[in-house]
Amino acid sequence: MTELLFNKKLQVQVKCKDCDDRRANIRISIELQFTTNPIHKRDLVVRLTDDSDLFFLYNLVISEEDFQSLKIQQGLLIDFTSFPQKFIDLLNQCISEQEKDNPRFLLQLSSPSPALDHSPSNLNIVETNAFKHLTHLSLKLLPGSDVEIKKYLAACLSALKEEKQLLEQKLKKTEEDLTRQLSYAQQ
Amino acid sequence: MTELLFNKKLQVQVKCKDCDDRRANIRISIELQFTTNPIHKRDLVVRLTDDSDLFFLYNLVISEEDFQSLKIQQGLLIDFTSFPQKFIDLLNQCISEQEKDNPRFLLQLSSPSPALDHSPSNLNIVETNAFKHLTHLSLKLLPGSDVEIKKYLAACLSALKEEKQLLEQKLKKTEEDLTRQLSYAQQ
């Protein structure tokens, strides 16, 4: 079972090695995945995609155990249950600032290689105050494999097919309704 | 540059090793691909997909040189230029017979392994007469790799996005047109 917690397009500052920083519009989705078999398990799945580049996919799956390491490593004071909402609050803070010339909160995608190619990249939420850059959160995301991208595209395609079908039904119904009303009004 | 010559859903008899034969609805598309760089080149691309299984993909690319081997191997009497139309004629013959209990022309997809998994399979066009089964054409298709399936799905997704956009525009226009006509008729 999957619970979608967040799915928005955000402005991200892309930083690569030896490159000028650039801005990109990246879609971030956050999902909670529940597994009951063989054991009860909750995973937080963070996914970065680009609506204009269908092959762009970065993933991070955080299990409850992973979260304990992340918590220690980044000095977090919250538990796994509260983490998603706190993460979403920070992302919303970035959104509310993203049109400003000097945003206080900024989302960064930082790659150690010359381009966003096939190396792990860090998604950072950075606050800039008068004194320094403060990294509130830094998550290491892995680029999607061909199999993962394939599955992601198939899921998009299924969803889009359904949306298109609903739209076709709506068009048909709208035409019928309005044509009926029109012929009634013209009588 | 690509020229789409054929794109239809056909009933195919699927034959696997140690399995009962079954019928499946498979989409067959035939394209001519032209390349001019570095050399002028024409390839015939045959693609099998399944609208209900997004990961199903079989491919065959026949270059003019490949065709020479195919011609000798299968005793064909036509050249590369006439081959696509002859192939399409045979497929249409299969379509015209596919609702019959004992179709004279039958399309077979035959795999040497227990299921249509990741092994090359043969697409056969078989005529059954009172005397015997006659194979008019047998093409060896390769299952799509993850990269090929990924690319195929991305192309489907782009096309579907466009169709959905056109549908949204049409819905908007239909609503506007009919609402205008309605308010005019009601005056």
Does B125 lie in the same domain as B80? yes
- ipTM, two decimals, is 0.72
Pair B32, B104 in one domain: yes
Chain B residues 73-112 with a CB less than 8 Å from chain A: none
Please check whether residue B5 touches A, CB under 8 A: no
How far is A143 from A28, CA to CA, in rounded Å?
14
DSSP state of B151: H
Which of A154, A163, A181 minimises the CB distance to B55? A154
Q: Are residues A47 and A64 in the same domain?
A: yes
CA distance A25 to A11: 5
Rounded to the nearest 10 degrees, the angle between the axes of helix B146-186 and helix A146-186 is 10
Residue A164: domain span: 145-187
Q: Which residues in chain B are closer than 8 Å to A182, comparing Cβ atoms?
A: 178, 181-182, 185
Of the candidate ranges A100-104, A117-121, B154-158, the one whose mean pLDDT is the lowest: A117-121
**Domain shared by B122 and B34, yes or no:** yes
CA distance A22 to A111: 12
The whole-number pLDDT of residue A182 equals 82
Strand partners, A12: A24
Both A99 and A153 in one domain: the answer is no
Is A134 at the interface with chain B, CB within 8 A?
Answer: no
Position A134 pLDDT exceeds 90:
no
Interface of B with A in 40-59 (CB under 8 A): 54-55
Burial classification of residue A62, based on how many CB atoms lie within 10 Å of its CB (0-12 exposed, 13-18 middle, 19 or more buried): buried
Res B115: pLDDT: 74
pLDDT at B113: 83
Question: A176 and A133 in one domain?
Answer: no
Task: Tell whether B81 and B35 lie within a shared domain.
Answer: yes
- Distance from C-alpha of A54 to C-alpha of B63, rounded to nearest angstrom: 29
Confidence of residue A128 (pLDDT cuts 50, 70, 90): confident
Domain count within chain B: 2
Please report, for the domain that includes residue A56, its CATH number: 2.170.210.20
Distance between B49 CA and the closest CA of chain A, angstroms = 13
Distances (CA, A) of B73 to A137, A172, B137: 63, 52, 10
Residues A96 and A126 in one domain: yes
Strand, helix or coil for residue B70:
helix
Are residue B30 and residue B85 in the same domain, yes or no? yes
Find the CB nearest B54 among A157, A171, A186: A157
- Tens digits of residue pLDDT in A23-71: 999 999 999 999 888 888 999 999 999 988 999 999 999 999 999 999 9
pLDDT score at B13: 93
In this structure, are A105 and A152 located in the same domain? no
- Mean of the per-residue pLDDT values for chain A? 91
- Contacting residues of A for B182, CB less than 8 Å apart: 178, 181-182, 185
- A164, A175, A179 member nearest B163 (Cβ): A164
* B164: CB partners within 8 A, 6+ apart: A160, A163, A164, A167
Q: Say if residue B152 is in the same domain as residue B94.
A: no
pLDDT digits (tens), chain B, 187 positions: 889 999 999 999 999 888 888 899 999 999 999 988 888 899 999 999 998 899 999 999 999 999 999 999 988 889 999 999 999 999 999 999 998 888 899 999 998 887 777 789 999 999 988 778 889 999 999 999 999 999 999 999 999 999 999 999 999 998 898 888 888 887 7
User: Both B138 and B162 in a single domain?
Assistant: no
A150 interaction partners in chain B (CB closer than 8 Å) = 55, 146, 149-150, 153
Characterise B4 by phi-psi region: left (phi > 0), alpha (psi -120 to 50), beta (else).
Answer: beta
| Shortest CA gap A176–chain B (Å) | 10
Residue A118 pLDDT: 74
CB contacts of B167 in chain A (<8 Å) are: 164, 167-168, 171
* Separation between Cα atoms, residue A122 and residue A168, nearest integer Å: 41
